[in-house]
């Protein structure tokens, strides 16, 4: 054998050895996953029994409390009926006794009158007295018979009222005493489930690396989310196929299942994307994307371990790193959001795929914060000024709320992602929660410490444009493109009031300082103050020459409202009087934020201009174009 032949043979041996090692590793991972799953299955009866016992104990408490409540509700009436039955019998018995006395008297009279002229009359009276006595005896017996059941009916709830409190205490004690055992069973099962999940995830990762599996969440969901969901969602399900989630995709459409595991040639989805029929009226998928979908189907069309089948694709796919903003702006972009840092030293403004921090004193650039969707719509500093919350979106594709560290611009938290824009954020008065409003009609509340979602509200019929907390943090007010403003319970999400007075899309909303009224503004060119209790309008504030885009309510009961008439107006909400107008912008004014401690406010307009104003006299103290590197074009000399 030649030298090259030896080398080739050696390479083949090495390759075979590697493949065998890989197969052995996969087999070991598969066995570990199977063993962990078997252990989890073996642990199910114990936790199931513990849960059933806990439910049985809890049901016993509930049953006792229901019985006690019923007894409390019925006992007074039953006692009253028993008393009435006793009184009725006493009265009937008195009448019986009187009838008996009358009968005895009539009988004696009849006997005394025998052989006399009045014998017939006294005999007749005697017979009538006998009939009356018989009737009274019957009535007394009927009344007596009613007493027993009435008394027994009153005794039963009385016994419940007397005995159930101790039984409830004992039942609640049994529930409490069983809790450690239940928690232990739950913890043991959770550990088994986690181990099984971890092993399955490890196995799937190895299978993906070996080319024997395709991750739906990492490889397929991004393709469907970007290329398919626009036409196949809950609102626009062409062919009755909804592809927003794995579960909906696997249900299929009007022609039945579109994905048949291990059979790409028989899967209608694969057939259509290979033929270029899907996406319809759009560029076809790339050959690489088609190959990914095909291989996913070939390898079983599985969903990744630990991923919910009902989760929206946008929430399970890898978080995209957003494209960077322009290094220098060729043209300014509309300033949709502004904010003062709590200490008043920084002004934050929205840009294109970024939030820009400026020195509030001289307008010098401090920092650029990127990795954001195309359009930042709202900005709010946390109360301590250390972080910045941003609501942003790319129309029809992506919406997100992110938290950034102010000191260095790093991403502190990625709260949530949705499939369309997020328009506003508001941090609760206590600084512990954040609310956001979205183009998908939802309002979402998150805990800022745990980053867990607390409330999900889906009550509006169109985009929700703005949100505000009540001063005590118990309620949320919202403004929507569906022409309504609403108030919700911040904890439960229950709708408390709906105001329809604008008759046009509503863009801004805020609570008055006492929390009993809300002010809202929108396309009808007005502010409207209305009651939370009955959603009735209290007053109307006009004078705007265009749509009202954004409003902020100050703690002293004033409102700052921006408008398409290029001005910002300060109103006293108690009577609707205008205190001051801030004029100077050359375009629509979208954003406003006050810093009352320094008696300033900052505003942003459609032409990219940012202005800082003196709150008390309405004069501009600073203005600049919020577009780093932008150089205005100078017209050539004629």
Tell me how far apart the alpha carbons of residues 516 and 471 are, in angstroms, rounded to a whole number.
10
For residues 261 and 123, membership in a common domain is answered with no
Instruction: Say if residue 172 is in the same domain as residue 224.
Output: no
pLDDT tens figures, 228-279: 988 888 877 788 999 999 999 999 999 899 999 999 999 999 999 999 988 8
Least-confidence region, from 127-141, 157-171, 185-199, 615-629: 127-141
| The domain boundary residue, chosen from 285, 316, 347 | 316
Does a structural domain hold residue 89? yes
One domain, residues 194 and 249: no
CATH code for the domain in which residue 142 is found: 1.10.287.950
Strands lying side by side in the sheet with 620-625: 589-595, 600-605, 609-614, 620-625
Max avg pLDDT among 135-144, 413-422, 587-596:
587-596
pLDDT of 432 over the 50 cut: yes
14 has a pLDDT exceeding 50: no
Q: Residue 1's pLDDT band (boundaries 50, 70, 90)?
A: low
Instruction: State whether 203 and 223 are in the same domain.
Output: no
Q: Are residues 68 and 196 in the same domain?
A: yes
Distance CA 282, CA 279 (A): 6
Mean pLDDT of 390-410: 95
Domain boundary among 180, 207, 234: 207
In a domain, 429, yes or no: yes
Model confidence at 16, pLDDT cuts 50, 70, 90, reads very low
Among 9-18, 201-210, 212-221, 529-538, which stretch is predicted with the lowest mean pLDDT? 9-18
Does 9 fall in a domain? no
Looking at the structure of the chain, the number of domains it has is 3
Single out the residue of 340, 342, 349, 344 nearest to residue 383, CA to CA.
342
Question: For 526-538, what is the mean pLDDT?
Answer: 98
Neighbours of 179 (CB within 10 A): 11
Mean pLDDT of 104-126: 83
| Pair (539, 603) in one structural domain | yes
Assign residue 419 the CATH number of its domain.
2.130.10.10
pLDDT digits (tens, 9 = 90+) for 546-561: 999 999 999 999 999 9
Domain assignment present for residue 7? The answer is no
Same domain, 56 and 116: yes
In a domain, 635, yes or no: no
Range of the domain at 63: 14-207
Question: What is the H or E stretch that residue 602 is in?
Answer: strand 600-605
pLDDT tier for residue 6 given thresholds of 50, 70 and 90: low
Q: DSSP 3-state assignment of 469?
A: strand
pLDDT at 320: 78
Q: How confident is the model at residue 529 (pLDDT cuts 50, 70, 90)?
A: very high
* Residue-level pLDDT at 12: 47
- Which H or E run includes 138? helix 119-209
Q: Is the pLDDT of residue 514 over 60?
A: yes
SS (H, E, C) 278-297: CCCCCCCCCHHHHHHHHHHH
pLDDT of 483 over the 90 cut:
yes
- Of the chain, the percentage scoring pLDDT greater than 90 comes to 76
Q: What confidence category does residue 379 fall into, taking pLDDT thresholds of 50, 70 and 90? A: very high
More confident residue, 536 or 312: 536
Q: Is 259 found in the same domain as 196?
A: no
Return the exposure string of 357-391: e unless at least 16 CB atoms fall within 10 Å of the residue's CB, then b: bbebeebeeebebbbbbbbbbbbbbbeebebbbbb
Asked whether the predicted pLDDT for residue 13 surpasses 50, the reply is: no
CB contact at 8 A, 78 and 71: no
**Same domain assignment for residues 449 and 581:** yes
Residue 553: both structure tokens together: 């309510």
If asked whether residues 541 and 427 sit together in one domain, one would say yes
Indicate whether 53 and 187 sit together in one domain.
yes
Query: Is the residue at 321 inside a domain?
Result: no
Q: For 340-372, how does the pLDDT look when each residue is reduced to its tens digit (9 = 90+)?
A: 999 999 999 999 999 999 999 999 999 999 999
- Name the band, by pLDDT with cuts 50, 70 and 90, for residue 525: very high
Pairwise CA distance, residues 89 & 94, whole Å: 8
The answer to whether residue 633 scores a pLDDT higher than 70 is yes
384 and 489: one domain? yes
**What helix, strand, coil percent values describe the chain, rounded to 5?**
40, 25, 35
| Domain boundary, last residue among 160, 186, 207 | 207
Residue 146 domain flag: yes
* Listed residue (425, 307, 351, 344) closest to 600, CA to CA: 344
Mean pLDDT value across the chain: 92
Q: Is residue 328 part of a domain?
A: no
């Amino acid at each position: 054998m030649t030298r090259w032949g030896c080398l080739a043979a050696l390479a083949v041996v090495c390759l075979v050895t590697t493949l065998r090692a890989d197969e052995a590793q996969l087999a070991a991972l598969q066995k570990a996953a199977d063993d962990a799953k078997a252990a989890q299955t073996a642990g199910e009866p114990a936790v199931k029994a513990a849960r059933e016992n806990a439910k049985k104990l809890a049901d016993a408490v509930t049953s006792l409390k229901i019985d006690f409540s019923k007894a409390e509700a019925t006992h007074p009436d039953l006692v009253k009926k028993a008393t009435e039955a006793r009184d009725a019998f006493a009265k009937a018995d008195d009448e019986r006794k009187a009838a008996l006395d009358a009968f005895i008297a009539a009988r004696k009279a009849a006997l005394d009158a025998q052989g006399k002229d009045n014998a017939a009359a006294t005999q007749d009276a005697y017979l009538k007295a006998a009939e009356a006595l018989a009737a009274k005896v019957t009535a007394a017996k009927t009344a007596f018979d009613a007493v027993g059941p009435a008394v027994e009916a009153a005794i039963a709830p009385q016994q419940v009222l007397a005995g159930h409190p101790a039984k409830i205490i004992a039942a609640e004690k049994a529930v409490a005493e069983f809790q450690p055992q239940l928690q232990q069973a739950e913890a043991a099962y959770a550990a088994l489930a986690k181990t099984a999940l971890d092993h399955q995830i490890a196995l799937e990762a190895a299978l993906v690396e070996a080319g024997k599996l395709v991750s739906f969440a990492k490889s397929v969901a991004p393709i469907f989310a970007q290329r398919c969901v626009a036409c196949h969602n809950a609102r626009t399900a062409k062919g009755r196929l909804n592809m927003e989630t794995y579960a909906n995709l696997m249900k299929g459409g009007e022609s039945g299942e579109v994905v048949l595991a291990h059979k790409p040639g028989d899967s209608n989805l694969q057939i259509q994307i290979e033929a270029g029929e899907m996406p319809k009226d759009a560029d076809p998928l790339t050959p690489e994307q088609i190959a990914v979908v095909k291989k996913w189907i070939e390898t079983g069309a599985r969903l990744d371990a630990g991923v919910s089948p009902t989760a929206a694709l946008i929430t399970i796919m890898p978080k995209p790193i957003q494209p960077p903003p322009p290094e220098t702006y060729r043209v300014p972009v509309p300033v949709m959001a502004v904010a003062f840092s709590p200490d008043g030293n920084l002004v934050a403004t929205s840009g294109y795929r970024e939030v820009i921090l400026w020195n509030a004193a001289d307008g010098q650039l401090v920092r650029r914060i990127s990795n954001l969707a195309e359009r930042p719509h709202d900005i709010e500093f946390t109360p301590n000024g250390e972080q910045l919350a941003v609501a942003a979106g790319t129309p029809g594709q992506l919406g997100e709320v992110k938290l950034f560290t102010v000191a260095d611009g790093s991403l502190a938290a990625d709260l949530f992602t949705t499939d369309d824009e997020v328009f506003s954020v508001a941090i609760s008065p206590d600084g512990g929660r954040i609310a956001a409003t979205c183009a998908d009609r939802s309002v979402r509340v998150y805990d800022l410490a745990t980053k867990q979602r607390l409330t999900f509200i889906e009550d509006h019929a169109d985009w929700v444009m703005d949100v505000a907390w009540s001063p005590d943090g118990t309620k949320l007010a919202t403004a929507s493109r569906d022409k309504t403003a609403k108030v919700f319970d911040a904890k439960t999400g229950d709708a408390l009031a709906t105001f329809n007075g604008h008759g046009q899309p509503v863009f801004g909303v805020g609570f008055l300082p006492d929390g009993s009224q809300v002010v809202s503004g929108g396309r009808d060119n007005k502010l409207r103050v209305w009651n939370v209790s009955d959603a009735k309008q209290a007053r109307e504030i006009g004078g705007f020459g265009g749509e009202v885009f954004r409003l902020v309510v100050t703690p002293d009961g004033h409102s700052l409202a921006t408008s398409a008439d290029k001005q910002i107006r300060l109103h006293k909400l108690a009577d609707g009087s205008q205190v001051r107008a801030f004029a100077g912008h050359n375009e629509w004014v979208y954003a406003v934020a006050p810093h009352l401690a320094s008696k300033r406010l900052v505003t942003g307009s459609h032409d990219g201009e940012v202005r800082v104003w003196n709150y008390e006299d309405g004069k501009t103290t600073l203005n600049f174009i919020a577009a780093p590197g932008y150089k205005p074009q100078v017209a050539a000399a004629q």
